[in-house]
Amino acid sequence: QLQLVESGGGLVQPGGSLRLSCAASGFTFDDYAISWFRQAPGKEREGVSCISRGGGRRNYIDSVKGRFTISRDSAKNTVYLQMNSLLSEDTAVYYCAAVLARPTLPGGCRYYGMESWGKGTLVTVSA
């Protein structure tokens, strides 16, 4: 059974940094692309960043480009989202999700049709 568990959220001041982790179990990690989503209070969930199963393709929404970095560690079955220069508008519950990418997934990763979701971790950016 696919399972994803997010961690690393918390309260941080504007301009600060956090690193989120998404630990995967119950499936062949290297067969799946992983995406990060977020949902702010009163807003719809949005895709933030995604990474292909091999890690060679990464995508970011415009609002986080240059500030967030996604990476994956196959030895630890974990995907990370390093978030720097955080803004108040980054406040949200962050979720990771997985989609099968073997033998291939157009674009390497995506923000729809995800097969498994974590329960989320709260990030609050406030002074």
* pLDDT per residue as tens digits for the range 70-109: 999 999 999 999 999 999 999 999 999 999 999 999 999 9
Residues 6+ apart with CB under 8 A from 18: 8, 9, 10, 12, 83, 86, 123
What tens digit of pLDDT does each residue of 7-23 get?
999 999 999 999 999 99
In what order do the strands lie in the sheet containing 18-25? 3-7, 18-25, 78-83, 68-73
Q: Which of 120, 31, 46 is nearest to 89 (CA)?
A: 46
77 vs 22, 26, 115, CA distance in Å?
8, 10, 17
